[in-house]
């Protein structure tokens, strides 16, 4: 397993659809692939903590007129998604290796149309609450990036994170526009892109977990 991970670390360095951050040396947001000429008219959608990029890949395949960026700091995971994108000729998806705290360095203000938080770490211990991707400092970042009425989507199997997000958004001053405590229930009707079932989600479902979804705006 360790050897396979090391091989992925090496392969991903040479993939044309992966951008690596350099700490302390951010470029101009205009210089990144998602703002290049062929993609200027496309809506930009981010998947944060994308792992293998299963959502980014599925969205890009289904809608070639939008541009998707999968973001994670573990490059061996995104190697899988990036290689699949190349194998399937998906030119409207790219991967960015960076910690989410730094994403403002890579995107222009009010240029992102949607953000997906797909099964983020719920950080259950009180000392790590600030690391939850729906904590106030992250909401500040999303508000900066999103176009007016841009949407943040959360999918999670964690009751703790789902309930925390609901409270956090309301305290911040945002607006919850859709929610479900079971997107695979009879009344959810494609909420949360429930036709996309990631590897993590399959495992959660096999353990009897309910998949929760929330959509909210910040501006």
Is 171 exposed, middle or buried (CB count within 10 Å of its CB: 0-12, 13-18, 19+)? exposed
Q: Work out the pLDDT band at 186, boundaries 50, 70, 90.
A: low
| Residue 10: both structure tokens together | 């090496």
Q: Tell me the C-alpha distance between 80 and 51, whole Å.
A: 9
Q: Which domains does the chain have, with CATH numbers?
A: 2-217 (3.40.50.150)
Give me Rg for the CA atoms of the chain.
17
Render the burial of 85-123: b for 16+ CB within 10 Å, e for the rest: beeeebebbbbbbbebeebeebbbeebbbbbbbbbbebb
Question: Per-residue pLDDT tens for 124-134?
Answer: 999 999 999 99
Q: What does pTM read for this prediction? A: 0.93
Q: Work out the pLDDT band at 76, boundaries 50, 70, 90.
A: confident
Q: Tell me the C-alpha distance between 155 and 182, whole Å.
A: 10
Question: Per-residue pLDDT tens for 96-115?
Answer: 999 999 999 999 999 999 99
């Amino acid at each position: 397993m360790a050897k396979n991970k090391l091989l992925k670390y090496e392969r991903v360095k040479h993939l044309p659809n992966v951008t690596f951050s350099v700490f302390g040396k951010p470029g101009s947001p205009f210089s990144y692939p998602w703002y290049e000429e062929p993609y200027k008219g496309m809506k930009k959608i981010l998947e944060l903590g994308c792992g293998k990029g299963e959502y980014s890949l599925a969205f890009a395949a289904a809608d070639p007129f939008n541009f998707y960026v999968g973001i994670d700091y573990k490059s061996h995971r995104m190697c899988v998604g990036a290689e699949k994108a190349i194998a399937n000729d998906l030119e409207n998806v790219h991967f960015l290796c960076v910690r989410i705290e730094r994403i403002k360095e890579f995107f222009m203000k009010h240029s992102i149309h949607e953000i997906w938080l797909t099964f983020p770490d719920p950080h259950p211990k009180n000392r790590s609450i600030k690391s939850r991707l729906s904590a106030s400092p992250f909401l500040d970042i999303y508000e900066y990036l999103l176009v007016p009425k841009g949407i943040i989507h959360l999918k999670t199997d964690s009751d703790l994170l789902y309930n925390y997000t609901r409270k956090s958004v309301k305290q911040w001053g945002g607006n919850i526009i859709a929610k479900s405590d079971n997107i695979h229930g009879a009344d959810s009707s494609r909420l949360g892109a429930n036709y996309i079932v990631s590897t993590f989600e399959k495992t959660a479902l096999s353990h009897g977990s309910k998949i929760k979804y929330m959509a909210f705006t910040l501006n």
